Structure 1
């Protein structure tokens, strides 16, 4: 009963998390052995410098003032709101929670599924360096290397603590994004075939495709002789992120603790917002995380020996 209660609490916290692109790299260079499963959960945070700087300009009093009006005229404050919403959609700031499962499908290939704060993530990895054994039947060598491909699709959810969810209906903002992540991972084993853990490092490339827009119904532009409804905005864009990471795995055979730090730099590009304005965004993103991983199943190659 206690375990069920803890699971319910965990899932509740998971759904409260902001919809942050799952770009933390926690894997090692050694893929999951054939026939085995890895399952785990991670807690972390997405700390992006550009959205944080834009959110600093949005105050509760200004948000409450605009929400209490039937009609609003476009001004500098509206531009600040639109700029903040766009920056947040590009790189959501907030806590990250995810649960994942990986399965070894071949000696050098595994696949994974992750549920990350409301987003569904699919990925696969290929090991191009190092042995493919198990602690019970180890191969030669302690250095591993692999390359992966991860796909994520999600809709931007705006957190109440940042006041953005109150602005969403006023500016009628929406955004969806797709992310492709390609990590190149190297790792050094602790013990035979990472029996007691590893340290991993590498580089990662991320390509983000975003679709966003504004369609406010009660915001107007005032001219000398007339008042005109503010024109809607509907745009698409994409940008690249370049990163590096370091992570570790500490435990013994079946249960491990996984600390990790992933860093990205990205020039998000130029984005059109309300009032015909265009804004450029760029900055760093830091993703620290800590996780728990459990190894399950029995190696297929080992089972065939009996």
Structure 2
């Protein structure tokens, strides 16, 4: 009986591996409920989401793709005549790193440390995420040992920290931008969710509907170090690089998810919406740009509960 939880974990991880896709941003899909993992138990699962930021879409359209391909063909770029195109490529690179348009996947494991506290680790294929949740409202129990009746309300608050090395994707369009601008960036994200849920059955035996608010804060370091962009058509002087800059911004979000299943396995569709004023960013040649917009994150997940064998 002691080997049963580990056997279940291995089987679930094998199943989740088949839905993995590459991601390069901290996960912001909200699939948790207000009830934390019961003490001594595990939850494991995975999510597949799609990040849809309005500002990034507007800054990385077909015109920018054409500009990147055009400048990539030039051995020496004259900033005097191509400054508008170069500036647009910088903005596109920044917008993508701040909030990429892409599918994203993550795998996670959670453990109930105390009756009202659990901790977790999430791997988002480029980002490592550590978090904890504290349940301040609702009963404590399991489907086998209910602490409350069907329809009970739960509430919890958490904190999540993610770190990653941000980069542009390895596709021809962004390869051209990266080759021209030699863009580099790193980021860390701090996220605080406030979650409320209503149980389906006692202790979420058949699932729950959850909703809440999210605050996140991002810390970004970035820079440009171009080697083919010159200040004049005679190609006598390279444009000065942009040394590493620091920038941070806040995001404000709301979410809704539904967990449906029975005791050990659940499907979790969710939708999160964020607004962020990314702030003002320094560009080459003392230029700057301001970015802001909405981000929509629909997702679908699988969650598995690993109960303990205690009586």
Same fold per superposition (TM over 0.5): yes
After superposition, the Cα gap between the structure-2 partners of 1:40 and 1:157, relative to the gap in structure 1 and judged at 3 Å, is same
Q: Give the superposition deviation at 1:161.
A: 5.0
State the Cα distance separating 1:152 from its structure 2 match. 0.5
Q: CA RMSD in A?
A: 2.1
Equivalent in the alignment of 2:289: 279
Greater alpha carbon shift after TM alignment, 49-58 vs 127-136: 49-58
The one of 162, 175, 178 aligned to 1:165: 175
Unmatched segments (≥5 aa) in structure 1: none
Kindly indicate whether residue 222 of structure 2 is the aligned counterpart of residue 212 of structure 1.
yes
In structure 2, C-alpha distance between the alignment counterparts of 1:49 and 1:259, rounded to whole Å: 22
Paired residues, number: 294
**Matched residues in 2 for 1:64 and 1:226: separation?**
20
1:46 is aligned to 2:54: no
- What SS is found at the alignment partner of 2:189? strand
Give the conservation status (yes or no) of the 8 Å contact 2:16–2:46: no
Aligned to 1:134: 142
| CA apart distance, 1:140 | 2.7
Pick aligned residue for 1:100 from 88, 108, 112: 108
Is 1:230 the counterpart of 2:248 in the alignment?
no
1:263 aligns with 2:268: no
Q: TM-score under structure 1 normalisation? A: 0.90
- What is the distance in 2 between the residues matched to 1:38 and 1:254? 9
Q: Is the 8 A contact 2:210 2:257 kept in 1?
A: yes
**Residues 58, 226 of structure 1: alpha-carbon distance in 2 compared, 3 angstrom cutoff:** closer
| Counterpart mapping for 1:60-139 below 5 A | 60-74=65-79, 75-139=83-147
Aligned to 1:23: 28
- The range that moved more, 162-171 or 28-37, is 162-171
Cα shift readout 1:107-134 (whole Å, capped 9, x = no counterpart): 0000111111321111000000001111
For residues 251 and 23 of structure 1, do their structure 2 counterparts lie closer, same or farther at Cα, with a shift above 3 Å needed? Answer: same
**Structure 2: gaps spanning 5 or more residues:** 1-10
Q: State the secondary structure of the residue aligned to 1:66.
A: helix
Contact 1:43 1:95 in 2 (8 A): yes
C-alpha offsets along residues 193-222 of structure 1, whole Å, 9 cap, x if unaligned? 000000000100000000000011121111
